[in-house]
Amino acid sequence: MTKALEPLRPFQRVRTCCLLVLFLVLALPRVLSAQRRQHVYVIVHGAWGGGWDWRAVDSMLTARGHRVVRVTLTGLGERVHLASPRIGLDTHIADVVNTIVWENLRDVVLVGHSYGGMVVTGAADRIPERIRRAVYVDAFLPDSGESVLSLASGPAFEWVAATVREGMSVPGWADTTQTPRDVPQPYRTFTDTLRLTNPAARRIPGTYILTFEPAVTPDPFQPFADRAAARGWPVQRIPTGHTPEREAREPLVALLHAVP
Protein backbone atom coordinates (compact mmCIF):
# COMPACT_ATOMS: atom_id res chain seq x y z
CA MET A 1 0.00 0.00 0.00
CA THR A 2 1.37 3.41 -0.99
CA LYS A 3 2.35 5.57 1.94
CA ALA A 4 0.26 8.71 2.26
CA LEU A 5 2.05 11.96 1.48
CA GLU A 6 3.03 13.86 4.57
CA PRO A 7 1.81 17.47 4.78
CA LEU A 8 4.45 20.11 4.23
CA ARG A 9 6.10 21.32 7.37
CA PRO A 10 5.87 25.08 8.08
CA PHE A 11 9.43 25.87 6.97
CA GLN A 12 8.89 23.85 3.80
CA ARG A 13 5.75 25.84 2.99
CA VAL A 14 7.62 29.08 3.53
CA ARG A 15 10.47 27.94 1.30
CA THR A 16 8.04 26.85 -1.42
CA CYS A 17 6.25 30.18 -1.28
CA CYS A 18 9.56 32.05 -1.45
CA LEU A 19 10.64 30.04 -4.48
CA LEU A 20 7.30 30.71 -6.17
CA VAL A 21 7.58 34.44 -5.52
CA LEU A 22 11.18 34.43 -6.81
CA PHE A 23 10.06 32.65 -9.97
CA LEU A 24 7.30 35.20 -10.57
CA VAL A 25 9.67 38.12 -9.99
CA LEU A 26 12.25 36.75 -12.40
CA ALA A 27 10.14 35.06 -15.04
CA LEU A 28 6.91 37.03 -15.26
CA PRO A 29 8.45 40.20 -16.74
CA ARG A 30 10.06 38.08 -19.45
CA VAL A 31 6.79 36.35 -20.23
CA LEU A 32 4.92 39.64 -20.39
CA SER A 33 7.68 41.17 -22.50
CA ALA A 34 7.52 38.25 -24.91
CA GLN A 35 3.76 38.72 -25.21
CA ARG A 36 4.15 42.43 -25.89
CA ARG A 37 6.68 41.72 -28.62
CA GLN A 38 4.31 39.57 -30.67
CA HIS A 39 3.52 42.02 -33.46
CA VAL A 40 1.40 42.02 -36.57
CA TYR A 41 3.63 43.08 -39.46
CA VAL A 42 2.19 44.21 -42.78
CA ILE A 43 5.02 44.35 -45.29
CA VAL A 44 4.92 46.36 -48.51
CA HIS A 45 7.59 45.57 -51.10
CA GLY A 46 9.47 47.97 -53.34
CA ALA A 47 9.14 48.90 -57.00
CA TRP A 48 8.91 46.11 -59.58
CA GLY A 49 8.85 43.52 -56.78
CA GLY A 50 6.21 41.52 -54.94
CA GLY A 51 5.34 39.94 -51.65
CA TRP A 52 7.32 36.89 -52.78
CA ASP A 53 10.55 38.81 -52.14
CA TRP A 54 9.82 38.87 -48.38
CA ARG A 55 8.95 35.20 -47.97
CA ALA A 56 12.12 34.34 -46.03
CA VAL A 57 11.75 37.38 -43.74
CA ASP A 58 8.14 36.35 -43.16
CA SER A 59 9.23 32.86 -42.10
CA MET A 60 11.90 34.20 -39.76
CA LEU A 61 9.54 36.65 -38.05
CA THR A 62 6.83 34.00 -37.81
CA ALA A 63 9.30 31.67 -36.13
CA ARG A 64 9.73 34.37 -33.46
CA GLY A 65 6.01 34.34 -32.71
CA HIS A 66 4.87 37.25 -34.89
CA ARG A 67 2.13 37.39 -37.51
CA VAL A 68 3.19 38.61 -40.94
CA VAL A 69 1.04 39.72 -43.88
CA ARG A 70 2.83 40.35 -47.17
CA VAL A 71 0.94 42.63 -49.55
CA THR A 72 1.57 42.33 -53.28
CA LEU A 73 0.62 45.56 -55.04
CA THR A 74 -1.72 45.51 -58.03
CA GLY A 75 0.03 44.65 -61.29
CA LEU A 76 3.16 43.27 -59.62
CA GLY A 77 4.34 39.86 -58.45
CA GLU A 78 1.63 37.21 -58.65
CA ARG A 79 -0.81 40.00 -59.57
CA VAL A 80 1.10 40.83 -62.75
CA HIS A 81 -1.92 39.76 -64.82
CA LEU A 82 -3.61 42.98 -63.62
CA ALA A 83 -0.81 45.24 -64.87
CA SER A 84 -1.88 48.42 -66.65
CA PRO A 85 -0.41 51.90 -67.23
CA ARG A 86 -3.60 53.26 -65.61
CA ILE A 87 -2.63 51.94 -62.18
CA GLY A 88 -1.48 54.76 -59.91
CA LEU A 89 -0.21 55.37 -56.42
CA ASP A 90 -3.75 55.53 -55.00
CA THR A 91 -4.42 51.99 -56.23
CA HIS A 92 -1.40 50.70 -54.34
CA ILE A 93 -2.38 52.62 -51.21
CA ALA A 94 -5.86 51.05 -51.44
CA ASP A 95 -4.23 47.60 -51.73
CA VAL A 96 -2.67 48.06 -48.31
CA VAL A 97 -5.63 49.78 -46.67
CA ASN A 98 -8.06 47.11 -47.87
CA THR A 99 -5.78 44.28 -46.73
CA ILE A 100 -5.63 45.73 -43.22
CA VAL A 101 -9.36 46.50 -43.05
CA TRP A 102 -10.67 43.30 -44.63
CA GLU A 103 -8.32 41.15 -42.55
CA ASN A 104 -9.42 43.22 -39.53
CA LEU A 105 -5.82 43.88 -38.51
CA ARG A 106 -5.08 46.28 -35.68
CA ASP A 107 -2.00 47.48 -33.84
CA VAL A 108 -0.10 46.95 -37.09
CA VAL A 109 3.62 47.46 -37.61
CA LEU A 110 3.51 48.75 -41.18
CA VAL A 111 6.76 48.11 -43.07
CA GLY A 112 7.60 49.73 -46.41
CA HIS A 113 10.69 49.06 -48.50
CA SER A 114 11.98 51.57 -51.07
CA TYR A 115 8.96 52.67 -53.19
CA GLY A 116 6.84 50.99 -50.51
CA GLY A 117 7.56 53.99 -48.30
CA MET A 118 5.26 56.07 -50.50
CA VAL A 119 2.54 53.47 -50.15
CA VAL A 120 2.71 52.95 -46.38
CA THR A 121 2.72 56.71 -45.81
CA GLY A 122 -0.52 57.01 -47.77
CA ALA A 123 -2.06 53.98 -46.07
CA ALA A 124 -1.21 55.26 -42.58
CA ASP A 125 -2.85 58.59 -43.47
CA ARG A 126 -6.12 56.80 -44.22
CA ILE A 127 -6.29 54.42 -41.26
CA PRO A 128 -3.95 55.78 -38.54
CA GLU A 129 -6.05 54.20 -35.80
CA ARG A 130 -4.93 50.74 -36.94
CA ILE A 131 -1.21 51.47 -37.17
CA ARG A 132 1.09 50.89 -34.20
CA ARG A 133 4.32 51.97 -35.90
CA ALA A 134 5.62 52.67 -39.40
CA VAL A 135 8.97 51.20 -40.38
CA TYR A 136 10.80 52.46 -43.47
CA VAL A 137 13.43 50.11 -44.89
CA ASP A 138 15.71 52.13 -47.19
CA ALA A 139 12.51 53.81 -48.30
CA PHE A 140 11.09 57.08 -49.51
CA LEU A 141 9.69 59.11 -46.62
CA PRO A 142 7.44 61.61 -48.37
CA ASP A 143 5.54 64.69 -47.29
CA SER A 144 2.22 65.73 -48.78
CA GLY A 145 2.55 67.03 -52.33
CA GLU A 146 5.56 64.89 -53.20
CA SER A 147 5.96 62.01 -55.64
CA VAL A 148 8.66 59.47 -56.35
CA LEU A 149 9.69 61.54 -59.35
CA SER A 150 10.02 64.73 -57.28
CA LEU A 151 11.99 62.92 -54.57
CA ALA A 152 14.15 60.73 -56.79
CA SER A 153 16.60 63.39 -57.86
CA GLY A 154 20.26 62.93 -58.65
CA PRO A 155 22.31 60.40 -60.62
CA ALA A 156 21.19 57.47 -58.49
CA PHE A 157 17.65 57.74 -59.88
CA GLU A 158 18.10 59.29 -63.33
CA TRP A 159 18.10 55.91 -65.03
CA VAL A 160 14.46 55.25 -64.04
CA ALA A 161 13.06 57.61 -66.70
CA ALA A 162 15.00 55.70 -69.35
CA THR A 163 13.15 52.49 -68.45
CA VAL A 164 9.70 53.71 -69.52
CA ARG A 165 8.01 51.77 -72.33
CA GLU A 166 4.33 52.43 -73.16
CA GLY A 167 3.56 53.75 -69.70
CA MET A 168 5.43 51.02 -67.85
CA SER A 169 8.82 51.16 -66.14
CA VAL A 170 10.61 48.06 -67.40
CA PRO A 171 13.56 46.98 -65.22
CA GLY A 172 16.49 45.93 -67.38
CA TRP A 173 17.62 43.26 -64.92
CA ALA A 174 14.38 41.27 -64.91
CA ASP A 175 14.92 37.74 -66.24
CA THR A 176 11.72 36.82 -68.08
CA THR A 177 12.59 33.13 -67.89
CA GLN A 178 12.62 33.13 -64.09
CA THR A 179 9.74 33.00 -61.62
CA PRO A 180 9.36 34.76 -59.27
CA ARG A 181 10.99 37.91 -60.62
CA ASP A 182 10.75 41.68 -60.80
CA VAL A 183 8.27 42.85 -63.42
CA PRO A 184 7.38 46.14 -65.16
CA GLN A 185 5.62 48.71 -62.95
CA PRO A 186 3.15 51.40 -64.05
CA TYR A 187 5.15 54.60 -64.40
CA ARG A 188 2.17 56.55 -63.09
CA THR A 189 2.90 55.18 -59.61
CA PHE A 190 6.14 57.18 -59.75
CA THR A 191 4.58 60.41 -61.03
CA ASP A 192 1.41 60.55 -58.92
CA THR A 193 1.48 63.09 -56.10
CA LEU A 194 0.81 61.91 -52.56
CA ARG A 195 -1.89 63.85 -50.69
CA LEU A 196 -1.90 63.60 -46.90
CA THR A 197 -4.89 65.02 -45.03
CA ASN A 198 -5.09 63.29 -41.63
CA PRO A 199 -3.21 65.04 -38.79
CA ALA A 200 -3.52 61.90 -36.63
CA ALA A 201 -1.15 60.07 -38.97
CA ARG A 202 1.65 62.45 -38.02
CA ARG A 203 1.50 61.11 -34.49
CA ILE A 204 2.27 57.53 -35.53
CA PRO A 205 5.77 56.66 -34.28
CA GLY A 206 8.29 55.49 -36.82
CA THR A 207 11.61 53.76 -37.30
CA TYR A 208 13.98 54.16 -40.23
CA ILE A 209 16.34 51.37 -41.32
CA LEU A 210 19.02 52.66 -43.68
CA THR A 211 21.21 50.32 -45.69
CA PHE A 212 24.61 51.61 -46.72
CA GLU A 213 27.59 50.63 -48.81
CA PRO A 214 30.80 52.63 -48.19
CA ALA A 215 31.53 52.69 -51.92
CA VAL A 216 28.16 54.34 -52.71
CA THR A 217 28.30 58.07 -52.04
CA PRO A 218 26.18 60.01 -51.66
CA ASP A 219 23.70 57.49 -50.32
CA PRO A 220 20.45 58.15 -52.23
CA PHE A 221 18.27 57.31 -49.21
CA GLN A 222 20.26 59.25 -46.61
CA PRO A 223 18.01 62.33 -47.01
CA PHE A 224 15.02 60.26 -45.93
CA ALA A 225 16.89 58.89 -42.93
CA ASP A 226 17.65 62.52 -42.07
CA ARG A 227 13.95 63.34 -42.28
CA ALA A 228 13.20 60.49 -39.91
CA ALA A 229 15.84 61.69 -37.45
CA ALA A 230 14.39 65.21 -37.59
CA ARG A 231 11.06 63.73 -36.49
CA GLY A 232 12.76 62.13 -33.52
CA TRP A 233 12.57 58.61 -34.91
CA PRO A 234 15.34 56.10 -34.28
CA VAL A 235 17.52 55.47 -37.33
CA GLN A 236 19.22 52.08 -37.64
CA ARG A 237 21.89 51.18 -40.19
CA ILE A 238 22.69 47.88 -41.92
CA PRO A 239 25.91 47.55 -43.95
CA THR A 240 24.43 45.95 -47.06
CA GLY A 241 22.88 46.75 -50.42
CA HIS A 242 19.43 48.17 -51.14
CA THR A 243 17.65 44.81 -50.78
CA PRO A 244 18.30 43.58 -47.23
CA GLU A 245 15.37 41.17 -47.56
CA ARG A 246 17.69 39.26 -49.89
CA GLU A 247 21.19 40.14 -48.70
CA ALA A 248 20.97 40.77 -44.95
CA ARG A 249 17.96 38.93 -43.61
CA GLU A 250 19.29 38.16 -40.14
CA PRO A 251 20.14 41.76 -39.13
CA LEU A 252 16.97 43.04 -40.80
CA VAL A 253 14.76 40.58 -38.91
CA ALA A 254 16.57 41.41 -35.66
CA LEU A 255 15.77 45.11 -36.13
CA LEU A 256 12.15 44.44 -37.08
CA HIS A 257 11.74 42.15 -34.10
CA ALA A 258 13.13 44.82 -31.79
CA VAL A 259 10.71 47.62 -32.71
CA PRO A 260 8.62 48.72 -29.71
Catalytic residues, which ones? 114
Question: Are 75 and 85 a contacting pair, CB within 8 Å?
Answer: no
What is the C-alpha separation between 49 and 94, in angstroms, rounded? Answer: 17
